[in-house]
Amino acid sequence: MPTNIDLKALSQLPDSKGHFGPYGGRFVSETLMAALKQLEETYEKLWRDPAFQEEFDRDLAHYVGRPSPLYHAKHLSDHVGGAQIYLKREDLNHTGAHKINNTIGQALLAKFTGKPRVIAETGAGQHGVASATVAARLGLECQVYMGAEDVQRQALNVYRMKLLGAEVISVESGTRTLKDAMNEAMRDWVTNVDNTFYIIGTAAGPHPYPKLVRDFQCVIGREARQQCMDQTGRLPDALVACVGGGSNAIGLFHPFIEDADVKMYGVEAGGYGVETGQHAAPLSAGSPGVLHGNRTYLMSDEGGQIIGTHSVSAGLDYPGVGPEHAYLKDTGRAEYVDATDDEAMDAFRALTRIEGIMPAIESSHAVAYAMKLAKEMDKDQTIVVNLSGRGDKDIHTVAQIDGINI
């Protein structure tokens, strides 16, 4: 890591216009500008309001089930033979992933702004389920946009959303995955901006979304920091998290930004291998551009068209990434690597058989890289891996890979 960067200043971004260095910002059509400004003002006011904080914390404790455990995966660590691997068990949250931390927060914002309807985009369906869940609880109308391809590979989550009372809208345009679901959600929002709150699922999009999603997810890193101190007596040597849009990763990383000795690794979806072009790794193999309201690293061709992505995991199958990750990459504070489909599936099987924990395929990318990294480290060093979600939703995908029809 470069030694000349001001870590304190880095941790206080974005600036007042939502910029992380050259990234972030608010690149949307005029109709949405007023709604984003209103959201920003509401958020800044409520985030500092003790009553809001109290309600948020209470929901995280009693509805989500926080704090989530930090589990020393001793068997896996022994199996790998290197650093000690600790798992931050976001998979044990209500609804099965870290996504609920953010939807609880945004649903409270929706409630305070008096909007009766929420919309969301979803890839793997975890954010859709988490949105449908909070909407059910607060009595809000909920529509979830999901790419037609993802509707197929995440059928279980689609049905969960329906049971929760949400309407799932299958998006047939473009590449029929997460980016197209986000386009369609934006179109809905621009049309129904007066009565609709858009719950964005990742730390990306126009300002203030990258900031507020991060703030809601930072509970992951704050807890992990304290739990690591309690269990090992010191901070971890490395953090590892998967990165699609990057909300679970930024939630883990952010509270450690000023701890210069804690290394951070974001693991992108390498798909069939970054060298094949069939992947979803904009930080590893993309370049800066503008999409979905923010400037960030993107996968686009030399004409500026967005390229189709590939990943075995629907939740990472996205051509962009949150703007804070783009800046953490450029400043060298975090490092971005990738794990291929095969490596992720191997890690899925390893964690399942060795620890009895079935990770989401998204989170399996982080586990895969952590196993690689641990080998190069000493036995008395520690790695904290964000186990961002559980793998129940992926059983059909895994069975299909095994050639089994359930």
Identify whether the C-beta of residue 167 lies closer than 8 Å to the C-beta of residue 158.
no
Three-state SS for the chain is CCCCCCHHHHHCCCCCCCEECCEEEEECCHHHHHHHHHHHHHHHHHHCCHHHHHHHHHHHHHHHCCCCCEEECHHHHHHHCCCEEEEEEHHHCHHHECHHHHHHHHHHHHHHHCCCEEEEEECCCHHHHHHHHHHHHHCCEEEEEEEHHHHHHCHHHHHHHHHCCCEEEEECCCCCCHHHHHHHHHHHHHHCCCCEEEECCCCCCCCCHHHHHHHHHCHHHHHHHHHHHHHHCCCCCEEEEECCCCHHHHHHHHHHCCCCCCEEEEEEEEECCHHHCCCECHHHHCEEEEECEEEEEECECCCCCECCCCCCCHHHCCCCCCHHHHHHHHHCCCEEEEEEHHHHHHHHHHHHHHHCCCECHHHHHHHHHHHHHHHCCCCCCEEEEEECEEHHHHHHHHHHHCCCCC
118 near 135, Cβ under 8 Å? yes
Q: Is 115 in the site for another protein (CB under 8 A)?
A: no
Whole-number Å distance between alpha carbons of 122 and 393: 14
Residue span 265-294 as binding mask against another protein, x where in contact by CB under 8 A, dash where not: ----------------------xxxxxxx-
Q: Which of 40, 121, 324, 355 is catalytic?
A: 121
Is 16 an annotated catalytic residue? no
CB of 13 to another protein, least distance (A): 17
* Nearest CB to another protein, comparing residues 27 and 112: 27
Choose which of 34, 155, 229, 399 interacts with another protein (CB under 8 A): 34
By the rule CB under 8 A, 230 interacts with another protein: no
Subset of residues 118 to 147 that bind another protein, contact rule: CB under 8 A = none
Which is the catalytic residue, given 311, 364, 388, 393? 388
Q: Does 17 bind another protein (CB under 8 A)?
A: yes
Q: Is 12 in the site for another protein (CB under 8 A)?
A: no
User: Measured from the CB atom, is 110 or 186 closer to another protein?
Assistant: 186
Give the shortest CB-302-to-another protein separation in angstroms.
Answer: 7
**Would residue 99 show up in a list of annotated catalytic residues for this protein?**
yes
Stretch that binds another protein, among 25-33, 69-77, 84-92, 345-353 (CB under 8 A): 25-33
- The reply to whether 22 sits near another protein by the rule CB under 8 A is no
The smaller minimum CB distance to another protein, of residues 233 and 303, is found at: 303
Query: Is the Cβ of residue 147 or residue 255 nearer to another protein in the bound state?
Result: 147
- Pairing status of strand 70-72 against strand 117-122: unpaired
Annotated catalytic residue 45: no
Question: Looking at 6, 12, 15, 33, which residue binds another protein (CB under 8 A)?
Answer: 33
Nearer to another protein, 33 or 399 (CB): 33
114 vs 303 by CB, closer to another protein = 303
Mask of contacts with another protein, 166-195, x by CB under 8 A?
-------xx----xx--x--xx--xxxxx-
Asked if residue 31 binds another protein (CB under 8 A), the reply is yes
Q: Does 233 bind another protein (CB under 8 A)?
A: no
Nearer to another protein, 165 or 174 (CB): 174
Q: How far is CA 282 from CA 23, 244, 251, 310, 329, in A?
A: 14, 9, 19, 12, 11
Give 26 or 254: the residue with its C-beta nearer to another protein: 26
Q: How far is the CB of 291 from another protein (least distance, A)?
A: 6
Of 88, 99, 329, 393, the active-site residue reads 99
Residues from 291 through 350 that contact another protein (CB under 8 A): 291-293, 295, 298, 300, 302-306
Q: For residue 278, with 0-12 CB atoms within 10 Å meaning exposed, 13-18 middle and 19 or more buried, which class applies?
A: middle
**Footprint of another protein (CB under 8 A):** 17, 25-35, 173-174, 179-180, 183, 186-187, 190-194, 287-293, 295, 298, 300, 302-306
- Which residue numbers are catalytic? 99, 121, 388
